[in-house]
Each structure stands twice: as C-alpha cells, then as structure tokens.
Structure 1
Amino acid sequence: MPAPYPTSGPVTLKTNLADSALSAALKDGRVSSPIVRFDFCGPPVASNGFKAMVREGAFDAGELAIVTYLQAKTYGKPLTLLPVAVVGRFQHNTISYMDRGKPMAPKDLEGRRVAVRAYTQTTGAWARGILQHEYGVDLSRIAWITTDDPHLAEFTDPANVVRVDKREKPLDQRLIDGEADAGILGPESPKHEKARRLIADHAAAAQAWHAKYGCTHINHMFVLNSELARQRPDVAAEVYRMLADSKAAAGPSKGVDPLPFGVENVARSIEIVNQYAHDQGIIPRPFAVSELFDDATRKLGAC
C-alpha cells in the first residue's frame, strides 16, 4: 500500500501511465510541478498494472480502464476518478472474423463463439454494447472465450464465459484455427490475409455513432488514491493541470478529440459505457456521473 501522504508540500506519486503522445511531455520533463513528482514505476503496458492497482493499491495514481473503475467503485476500492481520458478510440473496427467463404454480419454471432481477452475488458464492453444497441445482437446467445480473469477478484464471470489457457494458444490463433467464430481482439488482430472486420465500413459506422451520441469511446481514465484526493485537493488539481498541459504539448488531434477532459466533456461517454456494463452484468447498477467524482474533482476543467 502507498505510504501516508504529507498534508502539505511536495508529494511523489507511484504512477502507472503508459508512454503515449499525451504522457510524453510529462515523462520527458517539459511539464513539471513544484508540488507533484511522478514516479513512473508501472509496467510498460499499463493494463498489466490494473489488477495490482485495484487489488493491492499498488499505485498512488495512474490510468485505469473505465469499466475496471466502475467495478472498483462497486466494490468500494479507494480510488477517485479525475475527468481525464487517457486512452480512447472508436471500437467499431475491433471485431473480426475469418473469411471462410461466406461474409458474416453482426446478427450471425448469435449461437457462436467470440474471443475476447477478458469478459470485463473495456474494449469488449464497448464492442458488445455496439453489437447489442446498434445491430440488435442478443449477447446472451454468444459464448465468450476468454484467457484472463477479471481485474476485480470479487467479480465472477457469467455462465456463458469460457476460460481457455493462453499459454496453450493465444486467442488470435484460436480464431484463425476456427476455435472461435469471431473475436474482439483489436483493430489489427489477427494478422492474417483472411481476417475481416465484422463491421465492414467501420469508419462510416464510427462517424454515424458519433453523430448519434455526440461523444467518443473512452477506454482509460486517470485515477488517484482516494485518501490522497481527500487530503490534498491541491494535488488533484495540479495533476489535472499537468495532464492537460501534457496533452496540449502533443498538439491538437485530427478530427474528433478521442481524449476529452472535464466532467462535461467525459460525461456522455461514461453514461453510455456505464449502461453497457450494467446491461452485460458487469456492474449491478449504473452509476450517475455525479457519483463518480468528488467535490474537488467534479470542478476540474470547469470554466
């Protein structure tokens, strides 16, 4: 567990934050602070530190998948959300299948097997929500083939989730070999000449989704240890400022900003993935956005 925090003055925060355009200026020193120092001690792939963050309190600060955070909130983990998107993208191009002579449409997944790293993975939750709400897919009629357990030890996967051993064969190879009929494996997997995107014109579908809902798909947000956030609202505000300055140093994004900051700007995306997670049995009830922020973090980024 992190050590007690000083009530004033500088703090050093054990931090799990991957290398990215957003974090570059923080990590190379272009953005700094007289009161906050980040000890970037997390693994190179930030998601590999999520389990330690929610189970052991291994970090004072860092990125966390939004669905993992919603589960952490459900189970009373001492984490406080900042209105900062660290990873985001539209998920329409993450669902793939192998061309075996007949095109596959979303409804064709019913009664079949779909591979996804973990049932509670945020990318999977977004993709399943798209399938259910935009294409009418009955998710209960799909067998979900996974390799990883949930980040939260308290959660038990639904009955239609089947765990396989990734040491025997990775999920992309299982899809290639026909042991899965489709996979939510990311925009570039599997790397095979017969791999096809389930949503063929995924770019147009993403544009249509954005026009309909007015937001992007947030994957990871930034969190602080709740005791730190409670004791040191000045530190929470300074962390937000540093992240915003680091994002600004990366330059403007092309097209829709995938990494919104501020409660007003992240709210719609959180509301939707919150509902998706509830629909899919990942959380017992959807949270109001106001429940996810405290008095100090709720004001961050407000005009």
Structure 2
Amino acid sequence: MTENKLTIAMSESDRTLKLLTGAKRIPGFDLEVKQESIEDIFVNQISRAVYDVSELSLASYLIAKGGGDTRLTAIPVFLSRSFRHNAIYVRSDSPYKHPSELKGRRFGFPEFQMTAAVWVRGMFRHEWGIGNEDIQWFTFRPERVPVDIPAVLTEGDIFEALAEGKVDAIMSARRPPAKLFAASGEGGVLRRLIPDVWDVEREYYGRTGIFPIMHLVSMKEETSTRHPELPRQLYELMQEIKNEGIGGLLETIKNNTSNPFVWESVEQSMELMNGDIWPYGTDKNWGQIRQFITYLQEDGLLKRDLSLEEVFHASVLDT
C-alpha cells in the first residue's frame, strides 16, 4: 500500500523528536521532514503555506485568520510555551529594575507581531500600568504578516543596539550572545531587567493560571480536507509524544538532560501546575488564547474577535 506523503517542519524538542525521526509514525502517512530555522518555517508557512504540517507562531496565525486567510487550520498542540518576564533585558549599568520604570523609554523587539512581544505588551498594559503610547517601540526585522505598527524598523543587531545604548531595554526570545550575557546570567554587559524574575514568573502563573502559548501546529486546509482523519490522528500522537517526554524528565535512572537539578525543577513545576505542566487541547487553553486575542486587538493587530471554530479544526474542538 502506497503511503501518503506529508511535508512537515518543526523545531526539535522532546515534544517533536520522535515524530521527526520516525520513531513515532502516523499510520498511512510518510513524513518528509524539512530542516529549517524556526524563523524561516514561520515565514514560509504564513506567507506561502508551503508545508502540509508545521509549527507556527500563534500571533501570526491568528492575525492571518482575522484577515480572512483560510489556507491554514490548526490543532491545539502547543510546541512552544514560555514565560517572557525573563526575556526582558537592559544594560548591566541601567538604573531600571522593573517594567513600570520604562515609561517614556526606548524598547526594542525583534518583530512587533511576534507572539512573545504581544504577551509582553499585554503585560505592560495589564500588569505594569504602561500603555502602548507610553513607550517608544523599535523593531529589528520586517513583519512576517503585513501590518501597520507604531514601531520604528531599525537596522542592526538588537543585542548590539542595547549594548550601545541605542535602546533602553529589549525583549528577545533568543538568549543574548555569550559575549554580552554570561551563562550564569550575572556579570555580563547585559542583564535581565527583573532581578528576582523566576519568582515573579511563578507568582504570575499562580495568580493567572497562564503559561503563555507561543507556537501551535498548523496544517494546510487542503491537506485536512483531503485527509479529514489526519488532524485528530496527529493531535493524539503528539499528545502521546509529549507525555512520554515529560515521563523521561522524571526518570531518575539516567538524566535525559544536562541539567543536574532537572528532577527538582520538574517536581516543583508539577506541584505548582497541579501535575499538568504542558497542557494540550482546547479545554485547558482556550481561555488564555481568548486573552491573547484581546491583546492582539489592543495592539491593533487584529480587527475582530475569533471563535474556537475558526481557530481550530473541527475534529479537535472537544479536546
């Protein structure tokens, strides 16, 4: 029997590796894995829908949906989640130690519409009392979905711009280079804005229940129409892979990572998050996606509300 071929593009993690290497298979399908950077995957998928299945920025997907783009659908598999308080940086000699002190300052993002940037601006407004109009915004690469933004597109490297004092603070999902930011997080040219940031992030989760979603799994609408069983199959398989990955983190006969304190960290996360540290599905995640849609609207990046049925494929609405 000839298998159906699917192109797939995702970053490697314990949530994807078994799928990308063929250790776990979707019955009836043969995967052609595309090896590209996550930034290139996003641009290729949102601009030209080139992959049958791909990881994709939550923000770009929702912005495109809101603009009437029907080429893609999605399943509630969230390959990247991250608290972004720790991703805000200043120079080590900066006087600022809290986001509320940045009113009137110059703040840089790699891209205005990137999901992490939308979360951070939402926190500026709702957590720290600073509106979009209270900060001078700068970006360092073109927007992947054409949108009107209140930011100045700037040439050069975002980390060098901060080190040279061209901006007062930045948010970057990527860690600054080692020459500017030490492996210990202390003693470099740059430092995190918030000194006790890990405690701040735990407090934020305890108060809001939000573990911010960054990326979901997109699928060509034509692929899901041709194979209507595929979205649910893929959802269930990726849920299985994710659960096995978490089980591996807890296995003490050997450490699956190079972090000597990983078991302590995972157990603390389990206690804080009531045993579900990386939830998939609509039931546990639609509330925060609705909050994120509100943030997009406040940013002027989304002109209307989106329903659950518009965002996710019909076969996974009950997950």
Which TM-score applies when normalising by structure 2? 0.83
- Which stretches in structure 2 are left out of the alignment for 5+ residues? 182-187, 250-265
C-alpha deviation, 1:97, in angstroms: 0.8
CA 1:241–1:215 in structure 2 vs 1: closer, same or farther (change >3 Å)? same
CA shift digits 1:161-180 (9 cap, x unpaired): 01112xxx311010000001
- Pick the aligned partner of 1:217 from 212, 228, 231: 212
CA 1:9–1:271 in structure 2 vs 1: closer, same or farther (change >3 Å)? farther
Give 1:26's aligned residue.
Answer: 19
Say whether 1:188 aligns with 2:175: yes
- The aligned runs of 1:276-295 (5 Å cut-off) are 276-295=295-314
Give 1:233's aligned residue.
Answer: 228
CA shift digits 1:70-124 (9 cap, x unpaired): 1110122211110111111111101111133523431222211111100001111
Give 1:119's aligned residue.
Answer: 112
Partner amino acid, structure 2, of 1:277? L
CA contact (8 A) 2:7 2:34 kept: yes
> Aligned partners of 1:230, 1:149: CA distance in 2, in Å?
32
> Aligned partners of 2:308, 2:32: CA distance in 1, in Å?
30
Give 2:285's aligned residue.
Answer: 266
Say whether 1:164 aligns with 2:164: no
Secondary structure of 1:62's partner?
Answer: strand
Give 2:50's aligned residue.
Answer: 58
Partner amino acid, structure 2, of 1:162? V
CA 1:258–1:72 in structure 2 vs 1: closer, same or farther (change >3 Å)? farther
> Aligned partners of 1:223, 1:182: CA distance in 2, in Å?
32
- Number of residue-to-residue matches in the alignment: 286
CA contact (8 A) 1:218 1:258 kept: no
CA contact (8 A) 1:68 1:152 kept: yes
CA contact (8 A) 1:35 1:235 kept: no
- Pick the aligned partner of 1:41 from 34, 38, 46: 34
Partner amino acid, structure 2, of 1:152? V
C-alpha deviation, 1:290, in angstroms: 4.0
- The aligned runs of 1:104-143 (5 Å cut-off) are 104-143=97-136
Secondary structure of 1:137's partner?
Answer: coil
CA contact (8 A) 1:36 1:239 kept: no
> Aligned partners of 1:286, 1:180: CA distance in 2, in Å?
33
Secondary structure of 1:162's partner?
Answer: strand
Identity percentage of aligned residues: 23
CA contact (8 A) 1:95 1:187 kept: no
- Which stretches in structure 1 are left out of the alignment for 5+ residues? 1-7
> Aligned partners of 2:278, 2:298: CA distance in 1, in Å?
25
Considering only aligned residues, what root-mean-square deviation do their CA atoms show, in Å? 2.0
CA 1:206–1:12 in structure 2 vs 1: closer, same or farther (change >3 Å)? same
C-alpha deviation, 1:222, in angstroms: 0.3
C-alpha deviation, 1:42, in angstroms: 4.3
Which TM-score applies when normalising by structure 1? 0.87
C-alpha deviation, 1:187, in angstroms: 6.6
